[in-house]
Structures are given as C-alpha cells and as structure tokens.
C-alpha cells in the first residue's frame, strides 16, 4: 500500500509539474507569440490604395487626378448562401459569377468583391442590402481630359500601379504609399472596421508638371485625326517640341484611346508611336546628307549637280528619281527633293563622314526621352554597310528612325546646332513644393556647327518657299522644313507597292525658331494622295500656325535672304561625286566687283532700278544690308536713293518692284 501511495504521489507531482511547466511556457516564455496569434484571429490587416499624385500640363491644368471611391468586400462567415449572393453581385457589377463565388468560398472572414467602383455601381450594390457586405474608401485614378494626351500620360491599373506613359515611367514618384487598416472580428464572428484600428495612413504620391500644353495637344490631335480620316491612313503620328530646350509641347498617335476605360481598347492604341515605332525617314533625311557635305566644306548652296534626267547607276544598279531633273543647284536639290542629287551629295561626302553625321544627330541610339518603350531605330555600323548603302541612305532608305529622333535632329538645326535630350516632365511637387527636374533641359552634343545650321535653315526655307513643301507655308511666318515620302519595306524583302509613309518635319519662325513640328501618316490611300508635301505638310501648317499665335509669337515681316556672293547658277561648275569644290571669290572681292558695276563709289548705295528681285537681293547682301521687297517684277524705286551713304540705310533697303509703286 505504501508503495502504491508513493507511486501515486509521484505521478501526481509529475502531472502537476507538467501543468505548471506548460502554464509557465504559455503565460511567460511564449506569451508574446500566443498573444499575437490570438490577435491575428481577431484582426485582419487590409491595404488600401493611396492617392496618386496629380499630373498637370505646363500651365497647371489637370491631366490625371485621384478621386475617393468605394471598394466592396464581404465576410463569407456571415453569408448563408455564397452562390446566391455571388449571382446578385455579379449581375450588378457585370463580373464573372463563378469566379466571385470561388473567391468568397475560399476566404474565412474577408474577401474582396470589387474595387474602385464608380458611384453608380456602388449605389447599385448598396441597394441590394446584402448581409456581410461592407465598404472601404479607396483612391481611383481619373483622367478629366479623356483622350487628350492619353498616350503620353498613360494610365494606372486597378491596383493603382502605373502601366503606360508617364504613369508607368514615374510610378515610384506618383504612386505614394498604401494605407493599412485593421478589420476586427467580434464574438459573433461578425467584422467591424473602426477608425481606432488604423495604424498607417496613406501617403499621397508626388505631383508632376509636364511640358505638354493641353491647348496645343488638343489642336494637334484634332488636326491629326482629321488627316488620318481624310487620307484613309492606317495611323498617324505628330509631335511639337521647343528647339531651345527639347521640351515636348504636344505628342500623339491616331488612333488613340480613353484611359478612363483603357481595357476597352487594344494595346496598339495605348502605344505612343512617336517613341516606340521606327520608320524609314525618306527624303526628310536629305537634311542629314546635306549637313554631312556642308560640315566637310564640300558643297555650297549654289553648286550645280547634274541630276541625269531622273536616274543614276550606282555599283551596277540603276536608282530612279521621283522626277526627271536635269541640272540643279545644291539648294534646288534639297528644295525639289531630288534623289539623284542627294545621292551625289552623299557620295561626295563619303560613307565615313555621312555615318559620323548621322550619329551626331542622335540616330541609331536612344534619345533618352522620359517615356517608356523607346526604340533606338536601326542604323548598321559603317563597317557593315553594303556597297550601295551610301546611295540609299543619302535619300533616307536603308535605315529607320523614330519620330522623336527625327524631330530632335531638326530641332538641332533650328537652335544653331545643339542636340537636346527631349523630355516631358519638367517639375515635381512634393508636399506642395514644386521643384524643376534636375538636369533638364540637357544638351547631349553638338550636331552641326552654327554656320552649317544657318545654311541648312536657308536650304529648308527654300523647300517651303519654292519646293515640295509649299503647303506647309504659314501666313505671316517663314517656315523651314523637309518633306518625305518613304516607300515601306515588304515582308518578303524589297519595298511594297502602294504603301508609303508621308511626312513633313519643320520649324517656325525660320529665323527665330520657336516650334519644331513633325507629322507622319502611315499608309495613306494613294487615291487620296500619299506624298509628304501633299498630305503631311498641310497638317503641319494647320497645327503650328495657330500654335504660334497662341504662344504670342509675333509674325515675321522680313524678306527672303540669299547667300552673300551668290551668282547665277549657270555660272557655277557642275559637281560630281569625284570633283573637288571650285575656288570662289571672297565676299569682299564680289562686293567690290558689284559696286564697281553700279557706277557709284565704295560706301555708297548703288542704283538698283531695273534689276530683278534676285539680282537686287544679291547686291544688297554683299553690302551687308537686307532688302525689303514690295511687289513683283523689276525694281522701280528704292529708299534710300542711289548714291546715299550706306550708313543711312541702317541695315535695310526698301525696294519697290514694277506694278507696286508704293506701300
């Protein structure tokens, strides 16, 4: 009996000791662990979307804002028939009933029904008065301008993450930090949301200020859309930028989309073609060819090229021109867009100089524009150029570029030779303090010398004044630019018949450039016109003309200038790819020669009466003066009068031509 009693006491002591040990373990050693587990059974943490920063245009107009809307969730533990509830909710929300039922069945006390509902949808759900359904306030993205600048701004998805455009590229700045809220489970397994359970408030994202101007953007989209419809083109791309900074004022592709309902559109409509798509530049690239020859001091605007009546044989292959030209000055080669003339200029420059000039303009590499999906285009290394590459590249075949690259290259000509990095975001506002983005604007290199840029400017003016770009002319302003009509490559190789990209790139005012514009129409119906000068140039004028007035740029009233010492083209030597540039008299020699022919001494104004406008402009230019021309025909009157001191002209001479005897 004693042994049994002792054994019982030992067992009791061990049992009591085990209980005490377990209590010490639960209440003291592992207290924190089990407390957290218990709290976890009573609380659930829910992340709520934070307001994204507002995106403004350059004048502070809202392009993207965040608004507070309802998100709906359900506690499945309080739902007797999840299938029936899923059917009711799916009918109102237009979602998949089975997927919603599975979501509710797979959760214990919390399941999202739908997030970021529009007010009418939220009201419809409330009207159902379903048990276990609750609401949380979240931030939803809204785009008040709808389609305007949609491909630049982009959009944010249902998780509040930027997916395209600026929304995607600057998501880390704009997104902010989500809030966290606690959901409390009561004794009846019900759930409540109390403000006291919130332990992290949302942190709104930073605001962005773009270079985009909504008014210019709207004008560009309106005119581009009308052109695509009028020409029955497959698509269209256009952009406007400031040549003195690289700031993009407007950029769009057609067809476009409404970011408020982005899911209803295809990815092609989301795409910003000016940045993502590359194309053969066609004759717009003759500007680059001209730059290469001018930088090497191989040509002068008055040099004459034999364009061989519309075709040329290069390395055993005949290449045709778009027109049968005979002899053209270099200026006319660009103005009339002669392929044969451009080939001869390119061959004169040589492949190394041409390739180097292409690279200086930024082709073959990313521009660095702050938009997603940028393409670098296609430019083969010079070592891999085939034997006829120089000929084809000289008039814009055999390489591809993006619209933003091409516009940036023309901007370099417009601003005197500096290549700027294009950009869209100009300032970031944090906590209400607006700060310009560091490093913008940014010069990334020199494309051409200032003197070459000036000569190119005048060559491009001639394109609009008397060449293929006449329809780009804008009343009151001088326009410089280049047309392009590029035949598209065929999938099977070579070029496809009847498929073109018609384009125009230019800037205005030509002498004080404020805007650079590009318009490209992809595959316009040939029956509606397909040459860049016919279908793209008028769109440029329709956009840039009103934009200049909107920006307060005063109209120009300056007459056309020519190069000092310019002579009649028939007197110039005809250049071939192999011939060196001929020696020409200096400006001083030419000036003395012309002054002597007038019968007046040095320092006196000659008599311009009886001269053609061209002759008169040449002679005034040799004196360092600018001629203001009125009317047409031969000079009939001038102010100051012949024999007056040059100083009295104060830099200008007024010339009235026959048929216009006064102001």
Q: Following DSSP, what letter does each residue of 186-225 receive, concatenated?
A: -TTS-EEE-GGG--B--BPPPEEEES--HHHHHHHHHHHH
Q: Which fold has domain 585-657?
A: Trypsin Inhibitor V; Chain A (3.30.10)
Which of 66, 139, 283, 503 is an active site residue?
283
Give the model confidence (pLDDT) of 502-516 as tens digits: 999 999 999 899 999
Give the model confidence (pLDDT) of 40-72 as tens digits: 555 556 666 778 899 999 999 999 998 888 888
Return phi, psi of residue 89, to 5°: -70, -40
The Cα–Cα gap between 431 and 415 comes to: 36
Least confident of 34-38, 113-117, 252-256: 34-38
User: What is the average per-residue pLDDT within 613-639?
Assistant: 72
In the annotation, is 196 catalytic?
no
The Cα–Cα gap between 9 and 499 comes to: 102
What are the C-alpha distances in Å from 387 to residues 222, 316, 501, 516?
Answer: 44, 10, 26, 35
Whether the CB-CB separation of 658 and 634 falls below 8 Å is answered with yes
Number of alpha carbons in the 13 Å side-chain half-sphere of residue 46: 27
User: What is the average per-residue pLDDT within 348-368?
Assistant: 96
Answer yes or no: is pLDDT of 622 > 70: no
Sorting pLDDT into bands at 50, 70 and 90, what band is 417? very high
CATH class of 214-260+270-550: alpha beta
What pLDDT, on a 0 to 100 scale, did the predictor assign at position 140? 84
The Cα–Cα gap between 663 and 661 comes to: 7
Least confident of 106-115, 297-306, 531-540, 565-574: 565-574
- Three-state SS at 659: coil
pTM of the model: 0.75
Answer yes or no: is pLDDT of 460 > 80: yes
Helix axes 82-93, 119-128, angle to 10 degrees: 150
User: What is the average per-residue pLDDT within 257-285?
Assistant: 93
What are the C-alpha distances in Å from 651 to residues 189, 276, 323, 512?
Answer: 92, 48, 41, 18
What pLDDT, on a 0 to 100 scale, did the predictor assign at position 45? 62
Tell me the domain boundaries of the chain.
45-209, 214-260+270-550, 585-657
Those residues whose C-beta lies under 8 Å from the C-beta of residue 293, and which sit 6 or more positions away, are 299, 345, 346, 348, 349, 353
The Cα–Cα gap between 383 and 166 comes to: 38
Give the model confidence (pLDDT) of 520-577 as tens digits: 999 999 999 999 999 999 999 999 999 999 999 988 755 444 443 343 433 344 444 4
What pLDDT, on a 0 to 100 scale, did the predictor assign at position 516? 98
CATH architecture, domain defined by 45-209: Alpha-Beta Complex (3.90)
User: What is the average per-residue pLDDT within 440-465?
Assistant: 96
- Tell me the helix, strand and coil percentages in the chain, rounded to 5: 40, 25, 35
In 467-531, which ranges are continuous DSSP H helix?
Answer: none
* Domain pair 214-260+270-550 / 585-657, same fold: no
- How would you classify residue 427: left for phi > 0, otherwise alpha for psi between -120 and 50, otherwise beta? beta
Sorting pLDDT into bands at 50, 70 and 90, what band is 35? low
- Three-state SS at 118: coil
User: What is the average per-residue pLDDT within 139-150?
Assistant: 91
């Amino acid at each position: 009996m004693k042994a049994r009693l002792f054994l019982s006491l030992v067992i009791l002591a061990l049992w009591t000791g085990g209980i005490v040990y377990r209590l010490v373990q639960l209440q003291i050693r592992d207290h924190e662990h089990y407390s957290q587990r218990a709290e976890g059974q009573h609380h659930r943490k829910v992340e709520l979307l934070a307001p994204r920063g507002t995106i403004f245009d350059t004048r502070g107009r809202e392009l993207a804002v965040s608004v507070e809307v309802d998100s709906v969730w359900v506690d499945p533990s309080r739902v007797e028939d999840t299938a029936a509830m899923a059917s009711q909710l799916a009918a109102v929300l237009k979602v998949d009933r089975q997927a919603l039922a599975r979501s509710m069945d797979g959760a214990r006390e919390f399941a999202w029904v739908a997030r970021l509902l529009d007010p009418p949808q939220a009201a419809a759900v409330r009207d159902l008065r379903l048990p276990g359904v609750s609401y949380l306030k979240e931030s939803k993205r809204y785009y008040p301008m709808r389609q305007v600048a949609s491909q630049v701004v982009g959009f944010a998805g249902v998780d509040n993450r930027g997916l395209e455009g600026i929304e995607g590229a600057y998501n880390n700045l704009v997104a902010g930090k989500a809030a966290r809220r606690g959901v409390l489970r009561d004794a009846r397994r019900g759930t409540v949301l109390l403000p006291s359970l919130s332990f992290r408030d949302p942190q709104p994202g930073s605001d962005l200020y773009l270079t985009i101007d909504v008014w210019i953007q709207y004008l560009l989209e309106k005119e581009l859309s009308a052109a695509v419809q009028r020409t029955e083109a497959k698509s269209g791309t256009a952009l406007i930028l400031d040549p003195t900074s690289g700031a993009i004022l407007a950029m769009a592709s057609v067809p476009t989309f409404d970011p408020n309902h982005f899911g209803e559109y295809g990815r092609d409509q989301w795409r910003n073609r000016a940045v993502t798509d590359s194309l053969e530049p066609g004759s717009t690239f003759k500007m680059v060819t001209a730059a290469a020859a001018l930088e090497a001091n191989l040509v002068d605007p008055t040099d004459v090229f034999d364009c061989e009546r519309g075709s040329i044989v290069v390395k055993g292959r005949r290449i045709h021109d778009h027109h049968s030209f005979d002899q053209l000055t270099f200026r006319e080669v660009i103005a009339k867009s002669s392929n044969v003339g451009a080939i001869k200029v390119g061959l004169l420059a040589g492949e190394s100089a041409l390739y180097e000039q292409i690279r200086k303009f930024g082709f073959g590499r990313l521009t660095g524009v702050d938009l997603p999906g940028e393409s670098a285009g296609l430019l083969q290394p010079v070592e891999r150029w085939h034997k006829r590459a120089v000929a084809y590249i000289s008039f814009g075949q055999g390489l591809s570029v993006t619209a933003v690259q091409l516009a940036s290259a023309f901007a370099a000509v417009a601003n005197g030779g500096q290549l700027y990095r294009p950009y869209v975001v100009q300032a970031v506002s944090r906590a209400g303090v607006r700060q310009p983005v560091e490093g913008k604007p940014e010069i990334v290199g020199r494309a051409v010398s200032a003197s070459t840029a000036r000569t190119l400017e005048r060559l491009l003016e001639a394109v609009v004044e008397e060449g293929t770009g006449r329809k780009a002319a804008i009343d009151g302003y001088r326009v410089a630019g280049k047309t392009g009509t590029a035949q598209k490559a065929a999938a099977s190789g070579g070029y496809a018949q009847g498929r073109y990209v018609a384009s125009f790139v230019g800037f205005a005012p030509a002498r004080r450039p404020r805007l650079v514009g590009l318009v490209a129409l992809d595959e316009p119906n040939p029956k509606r016109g397909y040459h860049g000068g016919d279908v793209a140039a008028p769109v440029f004028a329709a956009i840039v003309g009103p934009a200049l007035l909107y920006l307060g740029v005063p109209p120009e009233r300056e007459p056309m200038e020519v190069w000092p010492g310019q002579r009649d083209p028939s007197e110039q030597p005809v250049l071939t790819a192999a011939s060196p540039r001929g020696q020409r008299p200096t400006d001083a020699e030419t000036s003395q020669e012309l002054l002597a022919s007038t019968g007046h001494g040095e320092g006196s104004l000659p008599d311009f009466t009886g001269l053609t406008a061209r002759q008169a402009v040449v002679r005034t230019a040799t004196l360092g003066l600018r001629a203001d021309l009125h009317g047409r025909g031969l000079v009939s009157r001038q102010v100051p009068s012949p024999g007056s001191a040059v100083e009295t002209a104060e830099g200008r001479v007024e010339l009235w031509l026959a048929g216009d005897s006064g102001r």
